[in-house]
């Protein structure tokens, strides 16, 4: 899993799973507050599990806490299904 910092936010590449989420969370903290509106591009996420959903929920919570907007782009179908099953799909809207 790789987190790339872009001029608008984060681009994630590879599997976003329990094995990688803690490192991604820690890496994202260094630059999270640099953006008024943070865009998170998940187009190149190859696989995700419930830990990925937990990460997005925490990013959303942190954005709200810091009066930022967060936009999730190119969500994997697998992640959308997990969010719907968990009743938290509203985190994907602003």
Structure tokens at 65: 């806490």
pLDDT in tens, 32-82: 989 999 999 999 999 999 999 999 999 999 999 999 999 999 999 999 999
Q: Tell me the three-class secondary structure of 35-93, residue by residue.
A: CCEEEEEEEEEEEECHHHHHHHHHHHHHHHHCCCEEEEECCCHHHHHHHHHHCCHHHHC
- Return the domain boundaries, the chain: 2-92
User: What pLDDT sits at residue 93?
Assistant: 77
* pTM summary value: 0.93
**How far is residue 72's CA from residue 12's CA, in Å, rounded to a whole number?**
11
- CB neighbourhood size of 23 (10 A): 11
What is the average pLDDT across 10-29? 96
**Which CATH number applies to 2-92: 3.30.1300.10, 3.30.750.24, 3.40.50.300, 1.20.90.10?**
3.30.750.24
């Amino acid at each position: 899993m790789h987190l790339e910092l872009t001029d608008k936010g984060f681009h994630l590449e590879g599997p976003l799973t329990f094995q990688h989420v803690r490192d991604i969370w820690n890496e994202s903290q260094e630059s999270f507050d640099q953006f008024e509106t943070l865009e998170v591009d998940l187009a190149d996420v190859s696989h995700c599990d419930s830990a990925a959903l937990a990460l997005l929920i925490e990013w959303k919570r942190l954005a709200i806490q810091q009066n930022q907007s967060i936009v999730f782009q190119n969500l994997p179908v697998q992640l959308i299904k997990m969010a719907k099953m968990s009743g938290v799909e509203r985190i994907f809207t602003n």
